[in-house]
Every structure is written in C-alpha cells, then in structure tokens.
Chain A
Amino acid sequence: MSEVFNPQILAFCCKYCAYAAADLAGSMRISYPANIKIIQVPCTGRVDIIHLLKAVEDGADGVYVAGCIEGECHFVEGNIRTRKKVEYVKEILKELDIEPERIEMFNLSSAMGPRFAEIANEMTKRIIKLGQSPVKNNKGAK
C-alpha cells in the first residue's frame, strides 16, 4: 500500500488581496487543503528571490505567491516586480534540474474567496503529481 504524500506548500499572500481572499474563503466555509501554509506579507513585492530559494532549500515541495490583480496592486507595482522574480526562480530551478512548476505566481482580488480555494487546490494537485521535492533529505521521511 502506497503512503499518501502530504505536500508541504508555502503560500506568500499579500495582505490586501490574497490574504483577504483567504479570509473570505474561510467565512464562506469553502474548504481548501490544509497543506497550504500561508505567510502574510504587506505586498507581494516584499517577497524576494532569496525567500523563494530558501523555501526550496528547506524542503518545501511547492511555493506560490498570490497577489493583487495586475494593475490593481495596492502598492502600484509590487506584484508585477515579483512576477519577474518568480520567472527568474523558475529559470534557476530548470538549471538545477528541478521542475519549475513547483514555483508559481497567481493574481486575484480580495473578493475572490472561491478563487483562493481554487488556487490552493490547483497547486496541491500539481505538487502531488510532481511528488516530493528532490531537495528533501531522502534519509528518513518517505
């Protein structure tokens, strides 16, 4: 019998849109996987390349950044700049022979509770398919 893989997924969510949407999903009683560990940031612009890399280094199976819809960032351009950082980290992962799909960026508004849950489900499914991060210590946890 195969063991169920419970992926560890980190989600950097901006306070003004993504985190608010997460709250809304909660009050709307829409469930989303418990694997998602949310980290609130004032703006996705606060998320830097090093944060994404550290997450991967420390064994996260997947990492995503969720911010405001492009053009509607509370801090004007933070989300657009971070999209470029996410693209850069994807390139790095490719060079390291790690699936670039483990990292992603999403955009949504604070009113989109259901969308927040949808994203969480989508990433979880994706990571389960990809399997455990190749960076995790292979001794111990299976």
Chain B
Amino acid sequence: MIIADRKPIEEIFEMIKEFDKILIVGCKGCVTVCNVGGAKEVDILAAILKIGRKKKQKPLQIDEKTLERQCDLEYIAQIKDTVNKYDAVLSMACGVGLQFLAEAYPNQKFFPAVNTKFFGGATAHGIWEERCAGCGICIVHYFGGLCPIARCSKSLMNGPCGGSAEGKCEIDKNVACIWDLIVRKKMEHERLDDLLDITPAKDWRSAKDGGPRRRECKELIK
C-alpha cells in the first residue's frame, strides 16, 4: 500500500488562495485504505476548506469526485468532460495519481492535498509502517522475511551496527532495530550461520538510483 499523509491545512489554503471554484478528487485505492484520501476524507477536506474560506469572507465552491483509482487512464477518463470547468483541482491521491491526472489534462492545474510517504501496511488500526523501499531486487528471504534495505536506517546488509541498543535503532527509541530482529529470528531457527557470510555490495541500478523505472508485460501490450 502506498501510504500518504494529508498536507497541513495552511499549505492547502495557500495553494488554492487564488481560486474560487475547485474540484477535489479522491481515490478508492491506497489512500482510502490508509484513511487519508478516500470519499470520506474528500468530504471532510471540502468542509474544512469551505469553513476557512467562509471565515475569510472569500467563499469557495467545491465539487467532489472519488475515482476507483487515479493511476489508471480508464478511470481518470471519467472526469474528462468536467475537469476543465474548475479553476484548479486538488487531488487526494498519491503522487502517482496526481501525475496521471496532470498528464491527461494538461490544460488544468493540479495540486496535491497529500504528501506521499512510503510503501507500508497497517500494523494496527490507524497505524501504518514502512516495509519496502522498492529497491528492485527483493532479498528478504535471506533475512528471515525481514527487509534491511527498507527497515534499517542505514540500509546495512551486514548489520547490526554498534548503535543497536535493546532492540531499538539509535535514531529513535520508537524505531525497532531490524537487524536485532533478523539476528534473533535466525538464532531462534538455529540458522545463525546464514548471517556469517558477507552479503556483497548491492547493485542499486534496479532501485531509483538507476533512473526512473518501467515495467512491461509484453503479452498485454497491443
């Protein structure tokens, strides 16, 4: 799941201050699941913006629409007849959705109402944590199903470092040291030997470091 967080209200007001008629577009995908950009949150944001603008005596007309997904050309086509009727559009989807919209409708101005943060999942109701860094070559099976690239602050592949204390990362007491977990898991399964060989330097070409990425499914391409 792509996890995002709503931008501070101040920032959103600043983005739309010149406009009087806007569309807020939500997404039923990841941002609905992480309670930040679905239909419910679109409603709430619309109410907040209207209250703020009413207070400033500069009323704002807001229309709302929530699409199945904003990262799909078929779904974003659904707003093609109305999208240009607004001064601007606020998208509550992740950075992907926003860019799909901007590319599909080059004559309209799109603004992000959320900050896209990471790939993660809900570890408890209302709490989401990062799990994957999208490095392009998955190796979690070497580490007991735990990813050191995404979950170690230093992305160590031969950890832990000397800053691991009581199972916590040196950067924050609330952050678990993933290497502590990896080592303990290996010890529990009596597979500590797995960690005694040196994991060689990573090839970062498959990650963002190698440039913007693309995937093709040849049998589907027309």
Contact = CB atoms under 8 A, between A and B. Distances in A.
Consider the complex of A and B and state whether they touch directly, i.e. have CB atoms less than 8 Å apart. Answer: yes
B51 A57 contact: yes
Contacts of B44: 49-50, 53
Contacts of B54: 57, 135, 137
Contacts of A96: 9, 48, 51-52, 55
B50 interface: yes
A45 to B, nearest CB: 15
A110 B50 CA distance: 37
B57 A138 contact: yes
B156 to A, nearest CB: 38
Interface bin, chain B: 10 to 19
A92 B48 contact: yes
Interface residues of A, number: 15
Given A49-B44, A50-B40, A134-B55, A95 B50 contact: no
A135 B47 CA distance: 12
Contacts of A129: none
A125 to B, nearest CB: 23
Given A50-B47, A57-B50, A97 B55 contact: yes
The 4 closest A-B pairs by CB, nearest first: A53-B47, A95-B9, A57-B51, A135-B54
Given A92-B9, A95-B9, A96-B51, 18 more contacts: A50-B43, A50-B44, A53-B44, A53-B47, A53-B48, A56-B47, A57-B50, A57-B54, A92-B48, A95-B10, A96-B9, A96-B55, A97-B55, A98-B51, A98-B55, A135-B51, A135-B54, A138-B57
15 contacts: A50-B44, A50-B47, A53-B51, A56-B51, A57-B50, A57-B51, A92-B48, A95-B9, A95-B10, A96-B52, A96-B55, A98-B51, A98-B55, A135-B54, A135-B55
Interface of B: 8-10, 40, 43-44, 47-48, 50-52, 54-55, 57
